[in-house]
Structure 1
Amino acid sequence: MSLTTLRYTVVGAVATISLARPDKLNALNATMHAELRDVLGLCERDDAVRVAVLTGEGRAFSSGQDLTEDLPRDAAGRIDLGPPLERDYNPLIRTLSGFPKVTVAALNGPAVGASMNIALACDIVVAARSAYLQEAFAKIALVPDAGGTWILPRLVGPKRALALMLSAEPVQAEEAFRMGLVYKVFDDATFTDEVANFAASLAKGPGLAFRLTKQAIQESLSNDLTAQLELEARLQRAAGFSHDFIEGVTAFRQKRDPRFEGR
């Protein structure tokens, strides 16, 4: 696969997708979106991959949409932002939200605008200490998109989400950690190694149980307690029938580390 805006590497069971337009602060354009669709599909189909890491090259995770890109116009000649959302951003957010493998957004630097919401659509967000997140849409008189108005209120509550969107203030990594937007903050000097170690640790986990857990969390957002308890029972039965459960119990009894196979 020939890539011009991304770098895709696989080490062990961890695939790393790096946004690779560092001269543009990894701004997102149509080509990058098309390549993201391709590599996420490749990652999903590769049975050897258990964890996908999304990160950036250079000083930023991403500055968001590339505003220098030629954007579509309507019959009156006005810029029409609907088609890029429908073609690129909305499918990407749906793909990340339903991705069957563990996804980690590794913020090596600022995640601004749509890229903040792309990061939050991943399962886990980790950040370098110098990184920040910013819902910057108001600065150019736009509405947050890429799922931001759905994801962010569910993470920090509607009032704080609205304040972050209306003020367009950056949230430094440590504050994002306190808000619950970021799971871990690593020092800049050790960020790459820490991310690799963290992802490798996740990759050793029970892939089937991880998929079922992701399903449970997703459905909990619309279930009442009774429905969620019933879902947990169904998913737990499926997990209990798995090879990994037998291996986990056997390893526990033998006082050794389990060797999960994701089935």
Structure 2
Amino acid sequence: MDAPVLHEVADGIATITLNRPQARNALDAAMKEALAALVPALVADASVRAVILTGAGGAFCAGGDLRGMAEVRPTMDFEGWRARMRDVQPWLAQLIELDRPLIAAVDGPAFGAGFGLALAADFVVATPRARFCLSFMKVGLGPDFGAMYTLPRVVGVQRAKELMLSAREVGADEALRLGLVLELQPEDRLLERARALARSFIGASPLAVKLIKQDVARSLASDLPTMLALEAEHQARCFDTAYQAEAVERFLAKQPPRFSWPPDDGR
């Protein structure tokens, strides 16, 4: 039997592949258990400089496994359902708060919890056949997998409520316009482009990446004096690194920088 989640680490890039293509990579108990073991290990692995999250078989993730939920329903009460949700939250929070770039490569459906997983990423690269849907209202539920936190930060409050309450599908072109997707790529270039984005951060300052991600997350629930104070503290921390000193030397010597966002390679 194939593993529900595949992963590899090569050249500083970790690739996580949801691997239930026969079920469009719906999140069942085995997949959640695999992610609960895998994500903390990747977080603790200092050799990992960027992470790619994708799905097998032309789908990203169709959401929760409704068949599995129906099977356990007779044995579940309120506390059981709440515990079921809380079980995924530690590793999900680690993905959302990851101090390294997380890139979602989305092909096909990203529905329900799958949409939430995509929203955990810093950058979403998708194919023209990608589709996004917070389908929870169709089965009498509210959004989970962090979407209540992440979606308003991506598209704004009014649009987030519309997408949650309507449970409508968003195609790839609209997702690009809404800012849900950074860019679109053909199916045969999706992972190549995700890897190019990830490779660009191999040469980046780990401290600068970490602090930028932390500060952007804090800024939406903070105020100007707090953010200005953080800018001063964190900029000083970055100045006080060998990486920054070398970067200035390379600039003055007209040498190429260690960090370079991927060039236009056919986007």
Task: Compute the TM-score of the two structures, normalised by the length of structure 1.
Answer: 0.91
Q: Could you tell me how far apart the structure 2 residues matched to 1:8 and 1:61 are? A: 15
The change in CA–CA distance for 1:229 and 1:212 in structure 2 (over 3 A counts) is same
SS in 2 for 1:87: helix
1:160 corresponds to 2:159: yes
The change in CA–CA distance for 1:96 and 1:34 in structure 2 (over 3 A counts) is same
1:196 corresponds to 2:195: yes
Equivalence for 1:99: 98
CA displacement 1:110-145 (0-9 Å, x = unmatched): 100011012111222111121111111111111111
Equivalence for 2:263: none
Equivalence for 2:86: 86
What does 1:1-263 correspond to in 2, within 5 Å? 4-70=3-69, 72-73=72-73, 81-88=81-88, 90-259=89-258
Shift of 1:77: 6.3
Runs of 4+ more than 4 Å apart:
70-80
Q: Does the CA-based 8 Å contact 1:72-1:81 persist in structure 2?
A: no
Q: Does the CA-based 8 Å contact 1:173-1:185 persist in structure 2?
A: yes
Shift of 1:74: 7.6
Q: Could you tell me how far apart the structure 2 residues matched to 1:36 and 1:226 are? A: 38
Letter of the aligned partner of 1:83 in structure 2? A
Q: Does the CA-based 8 Å contact 1:74-1:80 persist in structure 2?
A: no
Letter of the aligned partner of 1:115 in structure 2? G
Shift of 1:78: 7.9
Query: Identity of aligned pairs, percent?
Result: 36
Q: Could you tell me how far apart the structure 1 residues matched to 2:236 and 2:78 are? A: 54
Give the number of aligned pairs: 258
Q: Could you tell me how far apart the structure 2 residues matched to 1:75 and 1:127 are? A: 39
SS in 2 for 1:81: helix
Shift of 1:50: 0.1
Q: Could you tell me how far apart the structure 2 residues matched to 1:3 and 1:209 are? A: 38
The change in CA–CA distance for 1:75 and 1:67 in structure 2 (over 3 A counts) is closer
Q: Could you tell me how far apart the structure 1 residues matched to 2:213 and 2:78 are? A: 41
Gaps of 5+ in 2: 260-267
Letter of the aligned partner of 2:163 in structure 1? L
Q: Which has the higher contact order (CA 8 A, sep 6+)?
A: 2
Shift of 1:204: 2.4
Q: Does the CA-based 8 Å contact 1:72-1:80 persist in structure 2?
A: no
Q: Does the CA-based 8 Å contact 1:73-1:79 persist in structure 2?
A: no
CA displacement 1:55-104 (0-9 Å, x = unmatched): 0001210001011215655878689532221111x223311122122111
The change in CA–CA distance for 1:78 and 1:245 in structure 2 (over 3 A counts) is closer
Q: Could you tell me how far apart the structure 2 residues matched to 1:16 and 1:166 are? A: 33
Q: Could you tell me how far apart the structure 2 residues matched to 1:76 and 1:9 are? A: 36
Q: Could you tell me how far apart the structure 1 residues matched to 2:33 and 2:78 are? A: 24
CA RMSD between the two structures: 2.2
Q: Could you tell me how far apart the structure 1 residues matched to 2:76 and 2:114 are? A: 29
Shift of 1:187: 1.6
Q: Does the CA-based 8 Å contact 2:101-2:198 persist in structure 1?
A: no
CA displacement 1:13-49 (0-9 Å, x = unmatched): 1110000111111111222122112222222222221
CA displacement 1:146-192 (0-9 Å, x = unmatched): 12122212221222111111221111122111111111211223212
Letter of the aligned partner of 1:82 in structure 2? R
Task: Compute the TM-score of the two structures, normalised by the length of structure 2.
Answer: 0.89
